[in-house]
Amino acid sequence: MGTPDFAVPVLKSINESNHKILEVYTQPPKKKNRGQKITLTPVHKFAKNLKLSVKHPDILDNKEEYEHIKNLNPDIVVVVAYGKILPKELISLPNIKFLNIHASLLPKWRGAAPIQRAIMNLDNETGISIMKIVSKLDAGPVMMKAKIKITKDTTNEKLSEEMSNLGSKLILDSLNLIEKGDEKFVDQNESKATYAKKIGKLEAKISWNTDAKVIVAKINALNPNPGPWFELNGSRIKIIKAIEIKAKGFPGEILNKNFTIACSENAVQILELKKEGKNTTTAFEFLKGNKLEVGSNISNNV
């Protein structure tokens, strides 16, 4: 059970192992763009190429899906970034283990946005947890974990790829342990649980009255979606890439002609950006047609 690109390496890994995939579950196809073209999820496309059986129900919490999975009778259901909550009745089916590949070191960062939250929080490390699915969100006992370092240059895209590949290896180790009967599930420490709620557009807005390192981490975490942004002359500007610069000024002040903006501590130099309705461009190209006055304050320029 999986949906985005993040889940594809796991599907590939299991398919190439000695374990047999009975069926693939993913989110339903969606209509995209002006032409309303039907688009399959990355997992759906990949499974189709492998000629695997694919199901994409709108709702799991009904008798039809319950009976289908019960009759399919898998030993294990592997869930990774599926995007749907599994009903209690389903995960209570006897003789079936429901495993989730979660992108954090549980119990830290349970929930929808663990990768983004770890980067934004300036964590030094994160990782993958293989856990048993229970009714409470990401609260099940854990059988395996592996760590990944986070640096000031770590981006959402880079970390997602690393974690996805790590998860695809870890799940095979987990399946092999279960096959031998050597698996051990350890309960999570509830007192240390933290939650990674989904990040909306409002939270993605940049506040210059923040340390530069925190703003750069936010930029690294929130690309491509929902995208960190600020307003300039009535237009929304998404920051694609930026670096921290040692410099001083009032928060929001344009410090030089290289699009360096002062923060509460140090400054951020914007390297790549995207104006509303336009393509991504370098700051150098953007400034050719958009003059910024050094000394003006971007916080007031909305």
| Whether residue 152 sits in one domain with residue 120 | yes
**Sign of the dihedral through C-alpha 266, 270, 275, 280:** negative
> Which tokens hold the place of 103?
């992108």
What is the pLDDT tens value at each position of the chain, 302 positions in all?
A: 999 999 999 999 999 999 999 999 999 998 876 667 889 999 999 999 999 999 999 999 999 999 999 999 999 999 999 999 999 999 999 999 999 999 999 999 999 999 999 999 999 999 999 999 999 999 999 999 999 999 999 999 999 999 999 999 999 999 999 999 999 999 999 999 999 999 999 999 999 999 999 999 999 999 998 999 999 888 899 999 999 999 999 999 999 999 999 999 999 999 999 998 899 999 999 999 888 899 999 886 44
Whether 222 and 187 map to the same domain: the answer is no
Instruction: Indicate if 168 and 283 belong to the same structural domain.
Output: no
**DSSP symbol at 199:** P
Query: Based on the domain organization, do 37 and 109 belong to the same domain?
Result: yes
Instruction: Say which CATH number the domain at 279 has.
Output: 3.10.25.10
Tell whether 217 and 168 lie within a shared domain: no
Q: Does residue 96 form part of some domain?
A: yes
Contact 125, 150 (CB under 8 A): yes
Domain identity same for 139 and 24: yes
Asked whether residue 226 falls in the same domain as residue 186, the answer is no
Query: Taking Cα atoms as reference points, which of 218, 217, 229, 242 lies closest to residue 298?
Result: 229
pTM of the model: 0.93
> What CATH number corresponds to the domain at position 52?
3.40.50.170
What amino acid occupies position 150?
I
- Give 230's strand partners: 237
Output the six-digit token pair for 280. 């991504």
pLDDT of residue 292: 86
pLDDT computed for residue 302 by the predictor:
41
CB 4 within 8 A of CB 42: yes
The two structure tokens encoding residue 192:
């240390």
Domain identity same for 100 and 143: yes
Q: How far apart are CA 247 and CA 260, in angstroms?
A: 9
Instruction: Compute the distance between CA of residue 58 and CA of residue 254 in angstroms, rounded to an integer.
Output: 49
267 plus 151 within the same structural domain: no
* DSSP one-letter code for 212: H
**Count of structural domains, the chain:** 2
Structural domain including 247 reads 212-289
Residue 222 CB burial class (10 angstroms; 0-12, 13-18, ≥19): buried
Q: Is 240 in the same domain as 133?
A: no
Report the C-alpha gap between 301 and 104 in whole angstroms. 39
